[in-house]
């Protein structure tokens, strides 16, 4: 029987369809930027959700309002499902390609290894620092529950040892076909290191080069698929925000504001540590900003460390790094151990997701695997806008948490991403300077020892 509530429901769905059509037009005809469309989706979703809450009131839990939200949530749930779909191929191609970037020459491989080790080790330090900063902010389960559905609750991890043991798959192909993410990481890392080893042997180098070319093609294809999925973010945000607001979850705006605040607090603190480290390496703030200020500003505005790569390389040369170190640090820094996209952001998202699920996110049982997973996920970070989102998906999946919270934070991601990208480029510069100074001092010490020996022999 056709009732007034049915008419309201059909009208509400028609309005929602109109909002989706508007966002499509904003991209195709109005040429709005991605970040502008995300903000528009946040505002429109909030207004639509408020209207649904006002009109349907109690029926948003059962009745006509619930039916409307069920169809609206189809868009949000579909977007989330697509994100899960891309995780496995993204892990494989990102990690294999990142490890494959190490050069086959002995000296180059040595420097690449030093840069990678520095980036990964400092990413772990940044993750720990981010945990400390986050603990100072008043996030609660009650507040965070406004950002996620309560039906997504999952079991907390049993033990660190069991979690690490799950890293090793029982079947090579089964690891890629199963639901577990840890085995996929293991397989991808294994393929990457084997590829590097094969490149060092003349007899197997052709096979390694063909494999590397194939993975490069696969990487381009997968990233294009990721681009298509990420382009759907405004529609996913529109539906998810509308659903949350319709259910009366106004606290979410406070939580989003807090998240932006804690993110920038942690990033500013990490950047200050970069400056302190560079100062002790003989590069004071004045010299650093005079040589790298434009590079950091470009990273901040473009939100792409990959697009900033040529400027990063030039800045490293101006800071005194040799050409090989500058090339390696600027290149590896776009895909491994980024302090902003792979250190600060995913660590905080994971802890907050754990709190929202009622876990003790500040226990060692949670934090030790988290830091390990953050370091693992930082291998293969995409040096483009949204790279942190991909790492967050991987970290959440590794821990076993729902990815919905990462999707919600996409609503304010464009604000945080500017600071993250500048921090990523800064850690590339720091890595290049540290490795250059280290090798220069070792070389000087070696030459000094050789001169001493030579002088003694002549005497």
Per-residue confidence band for 25, with pLDDT thresholds at 50, 70 and 90: very high
153 pLDDT band (50/70/90 cuts)?
low
CB atoms within 10 A of CB 111: 25
CA of 320: how far to CAs of 119, 122, 433, 441, in Å? 19, 22, 8, 13
- Compute the average pLDDT of residues 347-360: 92
| Residue 150 clears pLDDT 60, i.e. is over it | no
Estimate the crossing angle of helix 285-302 against helix 252-280, to 10 degrees.
150
pLDDT band at 280 (very low <50, low <70, confident <90, very high): very high
Domain boundaries, the chain: 105-169+250-444
- Helix pair angle (364-377, 387-399), 10° resolution: 140
- Confirm if 123 and 343 have CB atoms less than 8 A apart: yes
Q: How far apart are the two ends of the chain, measured CA to CA in Å?
A: 110
pLDDT at 1: 47
- Residue 329 CA to residue 323 CA, distance in Å, equals 10
Rounded distance between C-alpha atoms, residue 255 and residue 405, angstroms: 11
* pLDDT per position as a tens digit, 387-402: 788 888 888 888 888 8
Q: With a cut of 70, say whether residue 162 has pLDDT above it.
A: no
Q: Is the pLDDT of residue 450 over 70?
A: no
Q: What size, in residues, is the chain? A: 459
Q: What is the pLDDT of residues 283-333, one digit of tens each?
A: 999 999 999 999 998 888 777 787 788 889 899 999 988 888 888 888 888
Angle value at C-alpha 348, between 366 and 280, nearest 5 degrees: 105
The pLDDT tens digits of the residues spanning 48-65 come to 999 998 888 777 777 788
Residue scoring higher pLDDT (281 or 3): 281
Q: Which CATH number fits domain 105-169+250-444: 1.10.645.10, 1.10.3860.10, 3.40.50.300, 1.10.3710.10?
A: 1.10.3860.10
Average pLDDT, the chain: 83
Average pLDDT over residues 372-381: 83
Nearest to 321 by CA among 405, 228, 430: 430
Q: How far apart are CA 407 and CA 235, in angstroms?
A: 11
pLDDT at 380 over 70: no
CB of 377 closer than 8 Å to CB of 395: yes
Is the model's pLDDT at 263 over the cut of 50?
yes
| pLDDT score, position 200 | 80
Please give the pLDDT value at position 315: 92
Q: What is the pLDDT of residues 90-105, one digit of tens each?
A: 778 877 877 776 665 5
Least confident range from 324-333, 345-354, 427-436, 443-452: namely 443-452
Confidence of residue 2 (pLDDT cuts 50, 70, 90): very low
Residues 350, 356: contact at Cβ < 8 Å? no
Any idea which of 1-15, 67-81, 328-342, 438-452 has the lowest mean pLDDT?
438-452
- 80 vs 148: which has the higher pLDDT: 80
Residues 102-147 pLDDT 10s: 665 566 678 888 888 999 999 999 999 999 999 999 888 888 877 7
Average pLDDT over residues 418-443: 90
**In terms of pTM, does the model score above 0.85?**
no
Flag whether pLDDT at 456 surpasses 90.
Answer: no
> What is the DSSP code (8-state) at residue 152?
G
């Amino acid at each position: 029987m056709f009732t007034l509530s049915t008419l309201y429901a059909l009208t509400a769905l028609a309005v929602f369809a109109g909002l989706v059509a508007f966002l499509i037009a904003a991209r195709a005809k109005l040429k709005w930027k991605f970040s502008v469309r995300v903000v528009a989706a946040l505002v429109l979703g909030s207004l639509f959700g408020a209207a649904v809450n006002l009109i349907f009131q109690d029926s948003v839990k059962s009745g006509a309002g619930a039916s409307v939200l069920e169809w609206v949530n189809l868009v949000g749930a579909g977007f989330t499902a697509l994100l899960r779909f891309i995780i496995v191929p993204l892990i494989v191609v990102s990690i294999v390609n990142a490890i494959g970037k190490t050069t086959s020459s002995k000296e180059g491989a040595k420097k690449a290894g030093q840069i990678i080790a520095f980036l990964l080790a400092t990413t772990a330090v940044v993750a720990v620092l981010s945990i400390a900063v986050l603990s100072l902010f008043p996030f609660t389960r009650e507040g965070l529950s406004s950002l996620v559905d309560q039906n997504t609750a999952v079991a907390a991890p049993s033990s660190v040892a069991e979690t690490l043991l799950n890293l090793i798959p029982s079947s090579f192909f089964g690891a890629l076909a199963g639901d577990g993410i840890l085995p996929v990481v293991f397989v991808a890392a294994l393929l990457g290191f084997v590829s590097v080893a094969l490149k060092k042997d003349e007899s197997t180098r052709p096979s390694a080069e063909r494999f590397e070319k194939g993975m490069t093609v696969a990487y381009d294809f997968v990233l294009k698929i990721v681009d298509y999925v990420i382009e759907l973010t405004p529609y996913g945000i529109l539906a998810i925000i509308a659903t949350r607001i319709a259910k009366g979850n106004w606290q979410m705006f406070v939580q989003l504001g807090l998240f932006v605040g804690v993110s920038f607090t942690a990033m500013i603190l990490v950047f200050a540590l970069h400056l302190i480290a560079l100062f002790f390496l003989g590069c004071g703030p004045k010299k650093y900003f005079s040589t790298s200020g434009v590079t950091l500003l470009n990273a901040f505005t473009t939100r792409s460390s990959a697009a900033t790569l040529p400027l990063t390389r030039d800045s490293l040369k101006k800071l005194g790094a040799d050409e090989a170190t500058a090339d390696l640090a600027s290149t590896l820094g776009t895909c491994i151990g980024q302090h902003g996209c792979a250190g600060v952001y995913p660590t905080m998202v994971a802890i907050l997701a754990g709190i929202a699920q009622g876990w003790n996110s500040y226990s060692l049982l949670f934090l030790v695997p988290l830091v390990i997973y953050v370091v693992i996920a930082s291998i293969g970070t995409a040096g483009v806008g949204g790279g942190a989102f991909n790492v967050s998906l991987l970290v959440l999946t590794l821990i076993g948490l729902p990815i919905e919270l990462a999707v919600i934070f996409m609503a304010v991601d464009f604000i945080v991403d500017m600071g993250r990208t500048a921090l990523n480029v800064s850690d590339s510069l720091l890595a290049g300077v540290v490795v250059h100074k280290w090798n220069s001092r070792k070389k000087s010490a070696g030459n000094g020892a050789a001169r001493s020996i030579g002088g003694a022999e002549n005497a």
